[in-house]
Structure 1
């Protein structure tokens, strides 16, 4: 699987350079997402701009990424999906589960809002304990 990883301070942008996300590539994507998470990154943007086709195993990889990054309070955002992938996500009703946005800017904004909300929640909990 061809891909690139762009590590920022608050998040990682993971970009598959593949047209299809199917059963031959999904296990590799799952593995790479788990590796990025294991490196200590809590937030990830999955840039789907080059992926023209996904099947059920591709959706499974997206769900694994979503669960992995959400488990420890992070966020997993799918950015720039093409029409077929967007339709598949909606037909599967995963648009209610996954964070899907049209642009990198919206994805970065979602992460910053998530981080601010988490910091506010943590501050609030600390104040209640005192």
Structure 2
């Protein structure tokens, strides 16, 4: 999908520099898939914190383009999050809010959901049990 260091996979065909997808880094902490214009961002780590947030923020800056119709973030493997991790998701929200592009968070554990409540960020995102349910809901919203 990519030529040299230019990644087409994570941007839906937009020509950009992507050191994470193209070089892979020491260990991929996430995957990025596309279903039509929906980006599905799956974290493979158990922690969403200061150790993972910089790489995740960099990738979210790449995929959060006005050409997508929605961002689905699968957090079902995440057991722990802190303010650095939440700031990565807030960055995605800020990138997409002016274009009215929804962000669906999937598989969020109750302890992490409480962080969203405490930080008053819960209303920024849609919360869904699975990627499939999120995709169905996003499709229903876009057709209404």
Task: Please give the range of the TM-score, normalised by the shorter of the 2 chains.
Answer: 0.7 to 0.9
Aligned to 2:38: 11
Secondary structure of the equivalent of 1:6?
A: strand
Could you list the structure 1 runs, at least 4 aligned residues long, displaced by more than 4 angstroms after superposition.
none
2:124 matches 1:87: no
1:61 is displaced (CA, Å) by 0.9
Secondary structure of the equivalent of 2:103?
A: strand
Hey, what's the Cα distance between the residues in 2 that align with 1:50 and 1:84?
13
Which of 54, 57, 63 pairs up with 1:30?
A: 57
Hey, what's the Cα distance between the residues in 2 that align with 1:69 and 1:109?
20
Aligned to 1:41: 68
Aligned to 2:6: none
Hey, what's the Cα distance between the residues in 1 that align with 2:132 and 2:32?
17
Structure 1: any 5+ residue segments left out of the alignment?
Answer: 118-130
The structure with the greater share of residues assigned to helix is: 1
Query: Could you give the per-residue CA deviations for residues 49-68 of structure 1, whole angstroms, max 9, x where no partner exists?
Result: 01110001111111111221
1:71 is displaced (CA, Å) by 2.0
Does structure 2 retain, via aligned residues, the 8 Å contact 1:42–1:72?
A: no
- TM-score, normalised with respect to structure 2: 0.72
Supply the RMSD in Å over aligned alpha carbons.
Answer: 1.8
Aligned residue runs from structure 1 range 1-130, under 5 A: 1-38=28-65, 40-117=67-144
1:3 is displaced (CA, Å) by 0.9
Structure 2: any 5+ residue segments left out of the alignment?
Answer: 1-27
Query: Could you give the per-residue CA deviations for residues 71-123 of structure 1, whole angstroms, max 9, x where no partner exists?
Result: 21211111111232112112222212222222223311332133224xxxxxx
How many residues end up aligned between the 2 structures? 117
Hey, what's the Cα distance between the residues in 2 that align with 1:4 and 1:79?
14
